[in-house]
Structure 1
């Protein structure tokens, strides 16, 4: 477990097209190393077909073993769509596959988002994402399955190059997704940069904003008792402890 000043590592499996490793590092303390490995390359665009490819528990568990020799204390599957597309059962299967193959505790991005939503006591959330509509709707179904209501949704309908979306576009996406009925905003996709927007938009709308990358690192570090770093971000004000 984490003791400040001791060096430890956690493992993160990400999709082959992940381009925001550096953003995840921004939430990590200096004495925690994030060790990344990637799923096999696929030439598909960001469609339901690709997302289903990225949801294969056996493939994800096998990929996680690439990091075993570096002895991470815990693992995450850092893909939102790939961990929600098959619902709660699919998300649990991914966690089980990683934990079985590595012998370490694990979480997924979608599971981390749910944990974060519950940690902040949100009952109805607005959803913002870069996906096509069918993938966006699949995330809403996943939230419904875990008992979280959706009070509005906005998507960018992108099939590729999501990591190129700039802060101005993402800021407008978040603000347009908000509604009076929403207790907060959930921003999906680990390839959508959000770090510098979260506290700013929270201050503007007076509600929590939870992003995929933020929740992933927060929940992963909680497994080892370490704090995530994000000045002004509401989620990171919660006490450190074992993830629920």
Structure 2
């Protein structure tokens, strides 16, 4: 049969693909949420850090941010020609402070990535661009790891006005939207200019817009900020909720 005679749309596709390499902790379960944050022409290529038989904790944050593991994961996705490689982990990128977060980006670039971002680096970037200096914080972690996030924010010159944590050692992706929304509302503070919800394994996509409407301030989440930082480096508009981020895209 003559191909030209077929009654099909013009076969010019598929849409030209632009890649993002994503280095995720071994326990990430929210790949579907990640894809909601990017436009159709962007493909996410995931690599994972090695399994570690420990609960979510300070120890795990150190293990999943091991420089050798990040370099190996970066090399695993390079053959797919990503334009940027992201270390998708809040705790692993803030646990050792601001200089160490920058070192993680350097490790990823030295392994061959064209450019690199981390979740906590994306947080620092948007806080600076939106000139936010007072935050409320919600995390799924224990008190010690949550305290390390406070320290990271303090290094950035950002004051934690209020904070709440769920105290979970695992299964973070199983927390339902009702619980997350209730805890975000409870964590808010009248003096906070925005709320940051930490952890890339905590589902947040569908609660952001209604909570921003109710609270009248940005609700910034880990996956949202990481994907925003990637798209910004690719000169692509953001996808999904978060109107304040469009101001700095």
Q: TM-score range by the shorter chain?
A: over 0.9
> Which of these two proteins has the greater Rg computed from alpha carbons?
2
Q: Provide the residue aligned with 2:20 in structure 1.
A: 10
Q: Is the 8 A contact 1:230 1:236 kept in 2?
A: no
TM-score (norm 1): 0.93
Q: Provide the residue aligned with 2:43 in structure 1.
A: 33
**Residue 108 in 1 paired to residue 114 in 2?**
no
Q: Provide the residue aligned with 1:60 in structure 2.
A: 70
Number of residue pairs matched by the alignment: 235
Q: Is the 8 A contact 2:237 2:246 kept in 1?
A: no
In 2, the alpha carbon distance for the partners of 1:9 and 1:236 equals: 21
Q: CA deviation at 1:239?
A: 4.4
Q: Provide the residue aligned with 1:236 in structure 2.
A: 245
In 1, the alpha carbon distance for the partners of 2:131 and 2:76 equals: 36
SS at match of 2:100: helix
Q: Is the 8 A contact 2:78 2:113 kept in 1?
A: no
In 2, the alpha carbon distance for the partners of 1:135 and 1:148 equals: 17
**Residue 182 in 1 paired to residue 192 in 2?**
yes
RMSD over equivalenced CA pairs, Å? 1.1
In 1, the alpha carbon distance for the partners of 2:232 and 2:216 equals: 26
TM-score (norm 2): 0.92
In 2, the alpha carbon distance for the partners of 1:57 and 1:117 equals: 26
In 1, the alpha carbon distance for the partners of 2:204 and 2:228 equals: 14
Q: Provide the residue aligned with 1:69 in structure 2.
A: 79
In 1, the alpha carbon distance for the partners of 2:46 and 2:136 equals: 30
Q: Provide the residue aligned with 1:45 in structure 2.
A: 55
Q: Provide the residue aligned with 1:166 in structure 2.
A: 176
Q: Is the 8 A contact 2:133 2:158 kept in 1?
A: yes
Q: CA deviation at 1:165?
A: 0.3
Q: CA deviation at 1:173?
A: 1.1
Q: What per-residue deviation string (whole Å, max 9, x for no partner) do you get for residues 195-239 of structure 1? A: 1111110001111110000000000111111122114x2233224
**Residue 146 in 1 paired to residue 156 in 2?**
yes
In 2, the alpha carbon distance for the partners of 1:24 and 1:116 equals: 19
In 1, the alpha carbon distance for the partners of 2:248 and 2:39 equals: 16
Q: Provide the residue aligned with 1:87 in structure 2.
A: 97
Q: Relative to structure 1, is the Cα distance of residues 134 and 239 closer, same or farther in structure 2, using a 3 angstrom cutoff?
A: closer
Q: Provide the residue aligned with 2:8 in structure 1.
A: none
SS at match of 2:83: coil
- Structure 2 stretches of 5 or more lacking a match? 1-14
Q: Is the 8 A contact 1:55 1:90 kept in 2?
A: no
